[in-house]
Amino acid sequence: MASILELHHLQKFYATQKAVSDISFNIEQGSIFGLLGPNGAGKTTLLRMITGIFYPDNGHIMFDGKRFDPVNDIIKIGYMPEERGLYKKMKIGEQALYLAQLKGLSKAEAMEKITFWFKRLEMESWWNKKVEDLSKGMSQKLQFVITVLHEPKLIILDEPFSGLDPVNANLIKDEIYGLAQRGCTIIFSTHRMEQVEEICDHIVLVNLGAKILDGTVGDIKQQFKENQFSIKLHGITAPSNSQAFNILDQKANAFTVKINEGFSSNDVLQHFIQQGIVVESFNEILPSLNDIFIGIVEGTKSVTRAFQPVTD
């Protein structure tokens, strides 16, 4: 599939530090892309370069097959920054209209789209309310509508679910899926790993201004698996060791085993089957993104611990 966004060796320096040093990756059209990283990793700077707020000091961005041109491409991008807000004293309808016109929509187009989205998310009665009268969740919803209103090709959401209750979070999540199905590409930036695991196809992890991980969620999990399996045996409380695996942990008849190098999961099963032990369940334990994230981020701080297993 074609890439909607290609970053080529982007660099951005602030007076004293490197905010982004040489980051490159591609984002496929129609995918939900996760941009992860701890605080201060350079995510916001990266997003600001993608949205044309900052110019990169080095490198370039290709947007939709062409060199990124902030002035004309801005209408194809919807950005919901982490530091977001609305004019408190302005009526919601007028505000949505104003912000849509600022994106470059005509007044008629903007009205039509606002009516559509307000109806869709049951916000029609809000038109004449002021933002200061809305709850935090409601204004988040409004902010989301304002971001996607002009049907951008690329939607960038920085911590979109903060402040939302589960019901509204699900509503927004469904909208995000819907937009992706209709061909929108979504960049999703967050620290909340369970959301990333649930939503994103592809992720990039940045830390200290550099890219550390790049791949699909499945691939990354495979890459970081530690050959650990959970096995549940019928009626057995103390299985014998074999050269194929080590037992790491035991809870009643459930065991966590680590398969040694050169052996496969079949060797483990064979070991028990030969002994006539009934295997009730057998699962591979994949690390959660959270574990991977924490492991890597902590690892990059001290070089000696880089990419070491973090189970102990």
Partner 1 sequence: MNKTWLVAKREFLSRVQKKTFLLTTILLPLVIFGFYALIIYFTVKSTDDFKVAVVDNANIFGGKIPSKGDISFIFLKDESTENLKVRVAKKEFDGYVIVGNQFNAAANDSLVFVSGKTVGMMTRSDIQKRINNALENQRLLSSLNISKKTLDSLQRGNEIVFSTLEGKAEDDSKASASLIVGYISGFLIYIILFIYGTMVMRGVMEEKTTRIAEVIISSVKPFQLMMGKITGIGAVGLVQFLIWICLTLFLRVLLPLIIPGMAEVTQPGAAQALETAKSSGAFSQVMSSLGGLNIGLIVGCFVFYFLSGYLLYSSLFAAVGSVVNEDPQEAQSLLLPITMPIIFSIVIMQSAVNNPTGGLAVFGSLFPLTSPIVMMARIPFGVPGTVPYWQLILSMALLVGGFLSTTWLSAKIYRVGILMYGKKVSWKEMSKWAFRKS
Taking the complex as a whole, the smallest distance from the CB of residue 75 to partner 1 amounts, in Å, to 8
Q: Specify the residue, 131 or 176, whose C-beta has the smaller distance to partner 1.
A: 131
Q: Choose among 85, 23, 75: nearest CA to 52.
A: 75
Strand partners, 77: 154
Taking the complex as a whole, the smallest distance from the CB of residue 272 to partner 1 amounts, in Å, to 58
Q: Specify the residue, 71 or 252, whose C-beta has the smaller distance to partner 1.
A: 71
Q: Specify the residue, 154 or 208, whose C-beta has the smaller distance to partner 1.
A: 154
Q: Which residues bind partner 1 (CB under 8 A)?
A: 15, 48, 51-53, 55, 71, 74-75, 77, 79-81, 83-90, 98-99, 101-104, 143, 146
Q: Specify the residue, 83 or 312, whose C-beta has the smaller distance to partner 1.
A: 83
Tokens at 171, concatenated: 């509503």
Burial of 196 (0-12, 13-18, 19+ CB in 10 A): buried
Q: CB neighbours (10 Å) of residue 116?
A: 13
Q: Specify the residue, 48 or 141, whose C-beta has the smaller distance to partner 1.
A: 48
Taking the complex as a whole, the smallest distance from the CB of residue 266 to partner 1 amounts, in Å, to 54
Taking the complex as a whole, the smallest distance from the CB of residue 176 to partner 1 amounts, in Å, to 18
Q: Choose among 272, 204, 219, 216: nearest CA to 242.
A: 272
Handedness of CA 141, 5, 190, 221 (dihedral sign): positive
Taking the complex as a whole, the smallest distance from the CB of residue 150 to partner 1 amounts, in Å, to 9
Burial of 101 (0-12, 13-18, 19+ CB in 10 A): middle
Tokens at 75, concatenated: 């209408």
